[in-house]
Structure 1
């Protein structure tokens, strides 16, 4: 059953599909739609299958995650669970979740005020932080585009399970968002960045390659990441990763706090996980930037 569900997730997420409509609450004062929540991306049965795919969790009692990189392709469930379990021990109150705008629709940086439906209840959006970004023109509100984006919607159920009290700030970035725009966004978020906040870059890596080709691309990408080589990372296309801008958000935040190294929790690809050398793969990294407590 688990393998069948993962195959379904592979088809769904590689095609860029997610929720298709918004849950409407009422008409707002401006005549528009006041949105209460985005529809769920997975069922209870699917969530249970994802949660069953677990790895052993290392002890990190003396460290605090400042930022992290996590897949949004649910074939990588065991990597996602592993990082989520480490986060759960830390109990952050706010997750800034930054991912690609796969459809490349709307404005360059998009956020929203709506909550997210999951099998275990709503993931609440942190409205003060979102309103701060909107007020300062650092992001645009676009609930419709956001509701379709699996880089946010696929992780919402896992965040609800592992961090039931945490709120999120969802952000999706156009393909050509620059490093300067990432820096400006982080500067605008600074009032909300404290020991209870973690920024997660929701990023998948190489796409549509053989297993061996994917591993080769990942080695090259890892080298650039270890060097904090932003110009090289921003030159990489979809055969390396799906959003250099989303990826570098976690790197730049760590750098701002004096952290110039990360820990690789996991790296694999869907060909390995599904034991299929014929499939077009997606590859995955989970990375964490630790600050000593």
Structure 2
């Protein structure tokens, strides 16, 4: 069982308080399912990025399996690590899709729980899924310590192929924040420059722009893996739903973190 590690820090520890906080995040956002194949969603504390995240979750369709690509902030475990444990949050337990997970055997993706044990980037997404869909879904959590272009594309391809073989309705989620600790104007300009390449679905240009501006988006590999997988499923349009930064909450615009919600359909 993968226990929570950031409950009480990134989001409330008690189920009642967590539901209340999630309700706040969705306030004034219409929940209307669309044929979404993939999404980019932030993973900061809910007070800072929860409302941005809710813009994407409000549109996600009900799926059998949600594949969650997250960056590895801790350095623990395998370079590309799949969890097959059941995950728990204050809202209950979520089972891993072990059937689809088995289809990744022998690929670039390793079975490894250590990489996930203290990592928050995937954990913070799960209460949003539970809020929307209860317990009637499974997850495929993949933690990426290696995020180079070649690796990310390969991860996206092998996961998409496994999802196709499974025959299950699958949605791919990339967990990422954008610029870290820059003035708000710099963050806004750089992040939208990078987001434009995501909207174009141009992964090579995405990596080029990130390096050109030294943009500190922590989940760039997960974004590329998600885009690759979504395009394997024929995704066409990418839409930016919401952009904000931490200064919108803290009032300090001198050193912000950028947050964006995008969907692919």
TM-score w.r.t. length of structure 1 = 0.77
Q: Which has the higher strand share?
A: 1
1:91 to partner: Cα distance = 1.4
Q: Does 1:287 align with 2:252?
A: no
Alpha carbons of structure 1 residues 105 and 144: separation in structure 2 relative to 1, 3 Å: closer
Structure 2 match to 1:143: 113
Alpha carbons of structure 1 residues 158 and 259: separation in structure 2 relative to 1, 3 Å: closer
Give the secondary-structure state (helix, strand or coil) at the position aligned to 1:286: strand
Of the three residues 110, 113, 117, the one matched with 2:88 is 117
TM-score w.r.t. length of structure 2 = 0.84
Give the secondary-structure state (helix, strand or coil) at the position aligned to 1:122: strand
The 5 A counterparts of 1:186-205 are 186-189=156-159, 190-193=161-164, 196-205=169-178
The 5 A counterparts of 1:1-293 are 36-39=1-4, 41-42=6-7, 43-44=13-14, 45-58=17-30, 60=32, 63-74=34-45, 75-87=48-60, 90-133=61-104, 135-164=105-134, 165-174=136-145, 176-189=146-159, 190-193=161-164, 196-235=169-208, 236=210, 239-278=215-254, 280-290=255-265
1:170 to partner: Cα distance = 0.3
* In 2, Cα distance between equivalents of 1:210 and 1:47: 33
1:263 to partner: Cα distance = 1.3
Structure 2 match to 1:20: none
1:285 to partner: Cα distance = 1.1
* In 2, Cα distance between equivalents of 1:288 and 1:60: 13
1:167 to partner: Cα distance = 0.6
* In 1, Cα distance between equivalents of 2:157 and 2:192: 31
Tell whether the 8 Å contact from 2:83 to 2:111 is kept in structure 1 after alignment: yes
Alpha carbons of structure 1 residues 226 and 155: separation in structure 2 relative to 1, 3 Å: closer
* In 2, Cα distance between equivalents of 1:273 and 1:169: 32
Which 4+ runs in 1 deviate beyond 4 A? 58-61
* In 2, Cα distance between equivalents of 1:132 and 1:216: 41
Please give the root-mean-square deviation of Cα atoms over the aligned residues, in Å: 2.2
For these two proteins, the number of residue pairs brought into alignment is 249
Tell whether the 8 Å contact from 2:67 to 2:173 is kept in structure 1 after alignment: yes
1:147 to partner: Cα distance = 1.5
Unaligned runs of 5+ in 1: 1-35
Alpha carbons of structure 1 residues 186 and 223: separation in structure 2 relative to 1, 3 Å: closer
Unaligned runs of 5+ in 2: 8-12
Tell whether the 8 Å contact from 2:40 to 2:261 is kept in structure 1 after alignment: yes
